[in-house]
Chain A
Amino acid sequence: MSRKIRILISKPGLDGHDRGAKYIARALKDAGYEVIYMGIRQSPEAIVKTAIQEDVDFVGLSLLSGAHNELFPEVVRLLREQGANDVIVFGGGVIPQEDISYLKEQGIEAVFTPGTPIQKVIEFIETNKERVLH
């Protein structure tokens, strides 16, 4: 038996700045995870459908347009609605400090802002992966 952690990286919303998302995808691949890269301008519905088809353990959302307070919680809500209760959602992008606690209340378990060392993201996945091993 060989369990692999699968992570979906996607950008909800309308901004096209995918450098960060691509960097994270690449770095997570180098850390040994299987990364499904979905790219820019995805609706929460499409992200959730993909997460379920791909049976991912984590969903990473990147957003720089300012619509994070609407779109990030919507992804979590739809995942739960579909019965995907075990999928862990995290986010990244230009997100003001004061929004982070709100997002965490809404079920986004970690928010990584610009300048975060990639090691922090990997640590987050490593400390939480036990929860998703099924």
Chain B
Amino acid sequence: MIGKLVNGIIHGETRSIARAISWIENDVPQKEELIDALFEHTGRAQILGITGPPGSGKSSLLDRIIEQERKRDKKIAVLAIDPSSPFTGGAILGDRLRMQKHTVDAGVFIRSMASRGHLGGVAGATSDSVKVLDAAGFDLIVIETIGVGQTEIEVMNIADLVMLVLVPGLGDEIQALKAGVMEIGDIFVVNKADKEEANRLKAEIEYVLHLKTEDEKGVKNPIFMTSATENTGIEELVNGLHEYMQRMGENGTLRERRRRRVTLELKKIITAKIEAHVHKFLETGNNLDVWIDQILRKKTSPYKLINEKVIQILKELKEK
């Protein structure tokens, strides 16, 4: 079953790709084997993250970028992330509404993804899904984040470069963005540039970037002015993306980032695996209530209790 799926993916079959992403989203037991089997086929795609506040036009801009890249005969995959309801777990995924003209184009694959409780602007399944799309031979993989604000920085750990989309008229928004998401942007876009105050926004971004790059010589974050609805500035933006990517490859940034990505991924896997083993060993599910009662009745304290458990685990490990 896995062999067939892997084969389908590396031959770029839509149904196999789509099913593999569902496997990852649903965290099926065969997921790890699938990702490992695909691994040797990954590493060729360029991975672009698009983030920015809601209503900034991320999807519409992406629609235009796809248009440009298709003219250059690139195969493109999009992972568009929307939030899941914290109450029901349900979601309405509507990002692809803005990219409809590419639906019947065989060179474009769009997948909507619900965050399923994951924080940081992407879904827990996003990074493994990127690997599937990479193995499937897409030239460009775009991750469109949920777009809610300053803590949306996880895309930085998945993408090669991050494009931050801003729009005029958000008032003090840019001030607030300074600390969080502003720092992860490689390329900045002032969308809806036909609006008044677009130039002022550009000046503000330049100012913030100036503060950021003051002591990093040679780092320059480009700012592009676009209007997705009027289709202006898009070609310049896409050229800019390619140039930036090329520069990242030449000056070693790309290699550094990919190395950091693997580092973070390994740490994440280690943590998750150890956590699962520890919970199994301690039978946390069964014992948690008992421990809580002990703490509430002041029989013990949180650190003391857990440290005792940890010592117990370490002892067990040594004996083995």
CB of A86 to closest CB in B, whole Å: 11
Q: Which residues from A are CB-within-8-Å of B97? A: 37-39
Known: A45-B104, A52-B18, A55-B19. A34 touches B96 (CB 8 A): no
A interface with B by C-beta (< 8 Å): 1-4, 6, 25-26, 28-39, 42-43, 45-46, 49-50, 52-55, 82-84
- Which of B20-28, B201-209, B268-276 forms part of the interface with chain A? B20-28
Most buried by B among A29, A36, A50: A36
Cα distance A26–B92 in the bound complex, in angstroms: 7
With an 8 A cutoff between CB atoms, is B103 at the interface?
yes
**A25:B114 contact, CB within 8 angstroms:** no
- Are B111 and A34 in contact, with the CB atoms below 8 A? no
Chain B residue, CB-CB nearest to A27: B90
Enumerate B84-99 residues with CB–CB distance to A below 8 Å: 84-85, 88-94, 96-97
Q: Is the CB of A32 within 8 A of B28?
A: no
Return A57 CB to nearest CB of chain B, in Å: 9
A38 to chain B, nearest CB (A): 7
Known pairs A2-B27, A55-B18; list 14 more (Cβ under 8 Å): A4-B114, A29-B91, A32-B90, A34-B114, A35-B90, A36-B94, A36-B112, A37-B93, A39-B97, A46-B100, A52-B14, A53-B109, A54-B93, A55-B19
Whether B90 contacts A31 by the Cβ 8 Å rule is yes
- Are A53 and B18 in touch, CB under 8 angstroms? yes
**B103 engages A3 (CB within 8 Å):** no
- State how many angstroms separate the Cβ of A26 from the closest Cβ of chain B: 7
Q: Total number of A-B contacts with CB less than 8 angstroms?
A: 87
Interface CB pairs A-B, < 8 A, 26: A2-B26, A3-B26, A4-B26, A4-B89, A6-B22, A25-B92, A28-B90, A29-B91, A29-B92, A30-B90, A31-B88, A32-B88, A33-B90, A34-B84, A35-B91, A39-B97, A43-B104, A46-B103, A49-B14, A49-B103, A49-B104, A52-B14, A53-B109, A54-B111, A55-B15, A83-B15
| Contact digits for B20-53, partner A, Cβ 8 Å, 1 yes 0 no | 0110011111000000000000000000000000
Judged by a CB distance under 8 angstroms, whether B184 is at the interface is: no
C-alpha spacing A17/B289, complex, angstroms: 53
Residues of B within 8 A of A30 (CB): 85, 88, 90
* Residue among A31, A38, A39, A55 with the highest chain B CB neighbour number at 10 A: A55
**Considering only CB atoms, which chain A residue lies closest to B17 in the complex?**
A53
Residues of chain B lying within 8 A (CB to CB) of residue A6: 22
Chain B residues within an 8 Å CB radius of A39: 94, 97, 100
Contact A52 B15 (CB under 8 A): yes
